[in-house]
Amino acid sequence: MYAINHAATALLLKKKGSTLPLLPLLISVQLVEILWVFFNYFGWEYFSVSGGKLHLDYLPYSHSVLSGIVAAAISFSIINWGYKNKKLAIAFAIGVLSHIVLDIICHEKDIRLSPFSATPVWGFGIIDHPFLNFGVEFFYGIFCWWYFKGSKALLAVIVIFNIFDLPLMFAGASSLGPIMHYPFILPSVILFQILITWYFIYRYATR
């Protein structure tokens, strides 16, 4: 799932716990992806381009089910016992786990049970069908906005960023060439997407 719709998931958590600060919730739903970005920079995880498509071949440390559970548990412990905020701790942990669940729906079969086992792997493969992928992600983002009862400006942010993701969804072999030759480009683009969606979601959801 693309950055804008992971970020939109924070709106669901914010609506359920309206007194919770939004920024930690935005961090929670993208914590897994931030780990992926830095693990790719260090070469601990990697992707490939083949058959004219991008494949996330190896991401067991950031995106496995066990890793998500461990990250959620550590986050819960730090916030609950360190900051004495159980409500935020629970919401943050749910946010972390939501990333893995949503990626299983969208990814190819590349989500492992744990970093220590090559099988089983999960992924419904929606990402392989760009029109379906766009539809699922677009309407999910709209649902998050509707459930949150956000402003028209917030709706515009979600719609515009989903449209901006279309070139990546429909990218072919020629447009993926630079990513293949310069692997740092993809995690850098993803990191930029995360930061800019945090900014706009936070700005228009907290008005």
pLDDT digits (tens, 9 = 90+) for 35-90: 999 999 999 999 988 877 888 989 999 999 999 999 999 999 999 999 999 999 99
Lookup result for tokens 């961090």 = 27
Q: How many CB atoms lie within 10 A of CB 33?
A: 20
Cα angle, residue 148 at apex, residues 131 and 19 outer, rounded to 5°:
140
Please give the Cα distance from 25 to 42 (Å, whole number): 26
Task: Name the average pLDDT for the chain.
Answer: 94
- Tokens 């992926």 label which residue? 36
Q: Give the whole-angstrom CA distance, residue 115 versus residue 58.
A: 10
Residue 173's pLDDT band (boundaries 50, 70, 90)?
low
Structure tokens at 29: 């739903």
